[in-house]
Each structure stands twice: as C-alpha cells, then as structure tokens.
C-alpha cells in the first residue's frame, strides 16, 4: 500500500508533473485575481493545477486551465477553468517576458498556497526536458529509493 503524502498546512495544490517535464530555472510568487466562490472552493482544497499554464499577453500574465471545482447548491454561473489574472510587479513581468522570448523557455505554474490569508501562485521560468533527461530523472529517483531501502534494512539489525 502506498504511503499518503503529507500536505503542508499552507499548500493547496502542486503541479508535480511540471517538475518532471521541465527544468526549473527561477521561481516567482504571484497573487491571483479570484471571485468569491473560487476562494470558498479553494478553501475546501478543490483546485487543480495539473493541465494549467501561464499566458503572457498585453503586458499581463494569465493563468489558463487551472480547475477550481464549482460550489454545490449555488445559483451563480460558475466557469471552473476560466482565465485568471496573475498579479506581479512590472519588474518581474518584464523579466518573465524577456526570458520567455528566448527559444525553449516557458513559464509554468508550479504551486498554489496560502500566505498570510491570501492565495498565492508560484510560477517558474522553465526549459522543457528532453526524453533522455526524463529517463535520467527516473533513474536517479529509483536509485535514491533503492538506497533508502537498503539503509533502512541495514539499520534494522
């Protein structure tokens, strides 16, 4: 039986596949422009970053494809995957725009979390990994797992 991963108190959602598919260069903390029902739903841990990405247009950053589960028993028209504006300073925005203009660089959301009662999104500048890099990641992860198991077995006796 697989162990259940512990979530830290302030973590809402994490994009673990992004760390496998991309090599992270630099991270930024961004606020998110949310509606009231989205905040309530996120408080209940009903948000997913799995297939989301960051789109830069018109000098602004937008979070596209982030799924926030609609509230039940509501009469409002709720769109779960609407585009949400990311709140960054101009200095950070220009750095991200310059970096993504280079070939192979992209901007991806990696984590949603709480900070002082506000919902923040960690976005990262990243470069896509090639298939060989992914194989090396899997190989090193398996080796670390095997090494930890051997150390545990050795320490039992």
pLDDT digits (tens, 9 = 90+) for 102-145: 887 888 999 999 888 888 999 999 888 777 777 888 888 899 99
Residue 2 has pLDDT above 80, yes or no: no
Dihedral sign for Cα atoms in the order 36, 38, 40, 42: negative
How far apart, in Å, are the Cα atoms of 63 and each of 5, 74, 109? 26, 24, 8
φ/ψ region of 88 (left if φ > 0, alpha if ψ in -120 to 50, else beta) reads: beta
pLDDT score of 9: 67
pLDDT score of 131: 77
Determine which helix (DSSP H) or strand (DSSP E) holds 123, and give its type and residue range. Answer: strand 118-128
pLDDT score of 91: 92
How far apart, in Å, are the Cα atoms of 107 and each of 37, 62, 93, 97, 124? 27, 11, 11, 9, 6
Dihedral sign for Cα atoms in the order 117, 15, 138, 125: negative
pLDDT score of 70: 83
How far apart, in Å, are the Cα atoms of 26 and each of 9, 54, 57, 105, 117? 24, 14, 20, 11, 25
Residue 31 has pLDDT above 70, yes or no: yes
| SS3 state at 70 | coil
pLDDT score of 29: 92
CA pair distance 141, 152, nearest whole angstrom: 17
Residue 1 has pLDDT above 70, yes or no: no
For the whole model, what pTM was predicted? 0.72
The domains located in the chain, with CATH, are: 11-129 (2.40.280.10)
Residue 6 has pLDDT above 60, yes or no: no
Tell me: the pLDDT tens digits for 38-89? 888 888 888 888 888 888 888 899 999 888 888 777 666 777 888 889 999 9
């Amino acid at each position: 039986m697989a162990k259940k991963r512990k979530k830290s108190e302030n973590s809402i959602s994490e994009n673990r596949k992004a760390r496998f598919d991309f090599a992270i260069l630099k991270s930024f903390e961004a606020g998110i422009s949310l509606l009231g029902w989205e905040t309530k739903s996120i408080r209940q841990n009903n948000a997913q970053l799995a297939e989301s990405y960051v789109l830069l247009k018109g000098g602004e950053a937008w979070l596209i494809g982030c799924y926030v589960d609609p509230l039940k028993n509501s009469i409002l028209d709720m769109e779960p995957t609407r585009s949400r504006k990311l709140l960054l300073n101009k200095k950070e925005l220009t750095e991200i725009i310059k970096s993504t203009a280079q070939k192979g660089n992209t901007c991806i959301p990696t984590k949603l979390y709480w900070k002082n009662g506000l919902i923040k999104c960690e976005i990262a500048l990243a470069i896509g990994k090639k298939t060989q890099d992914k194989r090396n990641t899997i190989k090193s992860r398996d080796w670390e797992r095997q090494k930890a198991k051997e150390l545990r077995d050795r320490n039992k006796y």
